[in-house]
Structure 1
Amino acid sequence: MAIGGQERSDPGKKTALITGASGGIGSAIADALAPTHTLLLAGRPSDRLDAVATRLGATTWPLDLTDPAGIEAAAEPLAELDVLVHNAGVAYPGRFDESTPEQWRACFEVNVTGAVALTQALLPALRAARGHVVFINSGAGLNASPGLAAYSASKFAQRAFADSLRADVPELRVTSVHPGRVDTEMQQDLVAYEGGQYDPAKFLKPETVARIVAEVIAGPPDAHTHQVVVRPRG
């Protein structure tokens, strides 16, 4: 398979594209998949993304999920893609009566519309590889979380998108992963909004979620995991 006009460095490896890989769950997933996959780390250019790519010997893939034309251009060089991990997301802590239409629009633009546009652009490459699409959703995509009105609504919509993709494109495997609260910068913002004391021991580690994602991707080819729900112990 050619990537950007060049043959992949290890033809024996499958290829995985991960959005939002500059930190948190995304960079942990990159770590977990690096031994078995050639990695494309998609996102807006940043020093953090470059650092993850350098550490793992991965390729950065400039991408803005709010730019449909740019998504099309970025996807064009890919002839085959084995794994697409939708990890990028935004959240604005706030109850419904505190939220604004602009915050709702921003949540849906990245968490839903951007994921739809990227999947559509990459669909020929995914079909060619009979690939696997993984959505890093949230517990808020199963039960609306207090203080996360716009985010919860977008994650419910993302889950419906995943279900539709699974039904409409049966040659792909499609998995929604719904972690509980994870020790990330987004979680720190939420705890600050709630006025609580941040204790990372109360939350899932990003590496834990990443390990579960890697295990789902490595599942036997006759198995199709539709949904994974994981919560912190205790």
Structure 2
Amino acid sequence: MKRTLTVIGIGTGNPEYVTVQAVKALNRVSVFFIPNKGDDKADLHHLRREICDRYIEGDNYRLVDFDIPERSKAGKYTSDVSAWRAEVRAIYERLLAEEIGEDEVGGFLVWGDPSLYDGTMGILDSINATGRFDLDYDVIPGISSVSALAARHKVALNRIGQPLTITTGRLVSQGLPPDAGNVVVMLDSRDAFRNVDDDLGIHWGAYIGTEDEILVAGKLGDVREEIERVRSAARKEKGWVMDTYLLSPGADEDAS
């Protein structure tokens, strides 16, 4: 069963972060699959619709909403993620079978960039491996929260001759890797910055690029409580927080 798809990175919440390449791809899609992650994240759902309304010429397309199951956190992380992806794959297979014709192009609008902490491509590859569908898909990169964070704080991500590490809050809570250089932390649901060296510099941002954006920067020991306060207040108000931060050892240096 032949199916043609495009996976489009839409940036971090600001419709102006949608690239020209993404706009062209949007206008090639016949049916968009729009994930619903519950009432708390309804604004993410609405943003995807807003992007379609803003950038697609004409109305020769349709939107298909689908519910995303909540990932279990009861077992080992890798096992929970694997089980969750299997559930999502079954949903994608149903959408491909029931909601898209052979002459149509399906589209997934991915928050940030599809290559960075997003499972869409992996799930599509696993579907392809079953042989049930002959999937032909392309990928449009998006402005990630990592790039947007650096731009909004007007800092470079790297130091001269030093590595840049991108990791998760779950791993940082177990300790920073040695010789990691500057460290970008994503998906931090456990406030891992509480457990790292006070002397590190931090550039923190939530809802980056949107009207709700919050930015805090400074020596971690000086701004940790402020970050905790604004992060807690934002989560209470919106029901969710999507934040990213950069940890930097020592004094600022020129980057290259």
> TM-score, normalised to structure 2's length?
0.34
Between structure 1 and structure 2, the one with the greater Rg is 2
Kindly indicate which of the two structures has a greater share of residues assigned to strand: 2
Which structure has the higher relative contact order (CA within 8 Å, separation 6+)? 2
> TM-score, normalised to structure 1's length?
0.36
Kindly indicate which of the two structures has a greater share of residues assigned to helix: 1
